[in-house]
Amino acid sequence: MIRRIFSVTMVATLLLAAGVVSRAVALDADRAAVIDELRTLVQSEQSAQMRTDRLTGLIEITEGEIADRAAVLDVRGAFVTELAGLQTALTSAEGKVDTAAHRAAVQSAQQAVLAERKDPAVVVAATATVHALIDKVGQDVSVWEAAQYAAPGGPAWSSSGPDGYARVRAALDTVGGAGVGLYESASCAGGSAAACANSNGYIKYRADIAQWSSERLNWAMAHELAHIYQFRVWGALTSSDTYRSMFGGDPEFLANCMAVVRGYPGSVGCDSDQQAWASGIWVGAVR
């Protein structure tokens, strides 16, 4: 009987212990699950915070870029205004002064402005450059215009007389040289040349050409007037590979072709390609 009671007691004890162990295992599993869930929540919160920080940073960067862009756009208007002014100045300078360097400078300024997104100072500097170019073109044109009336010294004529001078003057006006200074002189190539053009914008002639035929006299004045137009683009002209290849770098040959373009052919012929290229010099274009 005692043994039976002991056996029952032992079984009950074992069952109770097994229940306790089972409960402990279940609690450990629950605790592990809770810990895993907490870890997941923490990681999720950290990820969310990282995304928030990243978005905040991107917003700040974008806002800064927008502000920089707005500052650049604010000063672009003045640049565009100056560009319009320069275009007007360049148009007025056509056929008077060489503007190749001015055009290259403004193209460089335009490229700098188009590429700039952050610093308004770059646009302001480019605007100042264009304004300076407007002033420079205006000064160059003023110098050219003054040169048209600049006398080499002394009277406009001597041995050719007023009638002879008037005849040469009429020929120069006929070929498009109205307003270009004209003076009698025996100094062209030491007197061996019948006429010559001066880089200051006037033409000198030897007295005897006043007796030439109208056709020959008109050609001579067209030829010398061509030199006046060459001087206006001299830098670009002498740097042109086409000028060297088509005309051998010879301004006299080019002047003959320019005269042909104006309808006054001389003794030297020019083909159609040479005439087409020479025509550009009359309008200040070195192609």
Architecture of domain 161-282: 2-Layer Sandwich (3.30)
Q: How far apart are CA 99 and CA 139, in angstroms?
A: 12
CB neighbour burial string for 17-54, b if at least 16 within 10 angstroms, e if fewer: eeeeeeeeeeeeeeeeeeeeeeeeeeeeeeeeeeeeee
Q: What is the mean pLDDT of residues 4-15?
A: 58
- Domain assignments of the chain as residue spans, ordered by start: 2-144, 161-282
Residue 24 has pLDDT above 80, yes or no: no
Q: How far apart are CA 286 and CA 238, in angstroms?
A: 10
Q: Which amino acid is at 6?
A: F
Q: Give the neighbor-by-neighbor strand order of the sheet with 181-184.
A: 181-184, 202-205, 195-197
* 69-86 tens-digit pLDDT: 888 888 888 999 998 998
* 183-203 tens-digit pLDDT: 998 888 877 899 999 988 899
Cβ count near 64 (within 10 Å): 11
User: What is the pLDDT confidence band of residue 283, given thresholds at 50, 70 and 90?
Assistant: very high
Q: What is the mean pLDDT of residues 248-262?
A: 95
The pLDDT assigned to 70 comes to: 87
Q: How far apart are CA 74 and CA 68, in angstroms?
A: 10
The CA-based diameter of the chain, rounded to the nearest angstrom, is 170
Name the helix (H) or strand (E) containing 23. helix 2-93
The pLDDT assigned to 209 comes to: 95
* 114-138 tens-digit pLDDT: 888 888 898 898 899 999 989 888 8
The pLDDT assigned to 137 comes to: 86
Considering the chain, what percentage of its residues have pLDDT values greater than 90?
39
* 97-109 tens-digit pLDDT: 778 888 888 888 8
Judge whether 254 and 242 are in contact, CB under 8 Å. no
State the Cα torsion 256-258-261-262 to the nearest 10°. Answer: -100
Residue 65 has pLDDT above 60, yes or no: yes
Residue 27 has pLDDT above 80, yes or no: no
Residue 18 has pLDDT above 90, yes or no: no
Q: Which amino acid is at 70?
A: A
